[in-house]
Amino acid sequence: MGRSTRLRIASANEIAPPQGRGPNRPVRCLGIDYGTRRIGLSYGDELGVATPLPALTEADEARRWAALLEVARGRRVTDLVVGHPLNMDDTAGPKAKEAEAFAARLGAELGLPVHLVDERLTSQEAESTIAKARRRDVRASGIVDSRAATLILQDFLNQRFPPEMPSAPDDDDGR
């Protein structure tokens, strides 16, 4: 996976957060691997574990959009985490600009903060977990997209909720 950077699109909620959205608020994140044919999804919360959800594979873009809004509202998400496909030289190419526009539209529609997370090589990493003979069939199902969304969200959760390191055991003399 590429370098872990977190870019954000400011929403009205970040400028003037509503009541109950402080640092200790419950977090329910929807991870999204945006594509023009499929949208991979994952879910995670303050426990810090991302899990894949079924990808949105409807051929009709309007139906995919409606299904995405339904998932976000149904799971009562508080944050949207969208993969940001930067080029290897850190520039934003056409796909990154598409993801930015999608993220801005989604954040505005739902009134939620959107976090763009560097997604370089996540699809390749997700695909590498599938046997080569099955990749073509699996790719169309959206499984790869949702696995990529899970990697994207897990990267975000690891930054937001770093795992606690166990404390060192006491010395033999009680110090």
pLDDT (tens digit per residue) in 114-140: 999 988 766 666 666 666 666 666 666
Please calculate the CA angle 145-125-141 and round it to the nearest 5 degrees: 25
Confidence of residue 7 (pLDDT cuts 50, 70, 90): very low
At which residue do the structure tokens 């598409």 appear? 98
pLDDT (tens digit per residue) in 69-114: 999 999 999 999 999 998 888 888 899 999 999 999 999 999 999 9
Lowest mean pLDDT among 2-6, 64-68, 86-90: 2-6
Dump the DSSP string for 58-73: -SSHHHHHHHHHHHHH
By the 10 Å C-beta count (0-12 exposed, 13-18 middle, 19+ buried), 29 is classed as: buried
Q: Can you list the domains of the chain with their CATH numbers?
A: 6-13+27-160 (3.30.420.140)
| Other residues' Cβ atoms within 10 Å of the Cβ of residue 146 | 25
Cα first-last separation, the chain? 42
Q: Which residues pair with 32 in a beta bridge?
A: 41, 82
Do residues 33 and 146 lie in contact, with contact meaning Cβ atoms separated by under 8 Å? yes
pLDDT of 160 > 90? The answer is: no
Residue ranges in 23-142 assigned as alpha helix (H):
61-74, 94-110, 122-127, 135-141
Distance (Å) of CA 29 to CA 14, 32, 113, 133, 134: 15, 10, 10, 33, 30
3-state secondary structure of 77: coil
- Strand pairing class (51-56; 39-45): antiparallel
As a whole number of angstroms, the distance between CA 4 and CA 166 comes to: 24
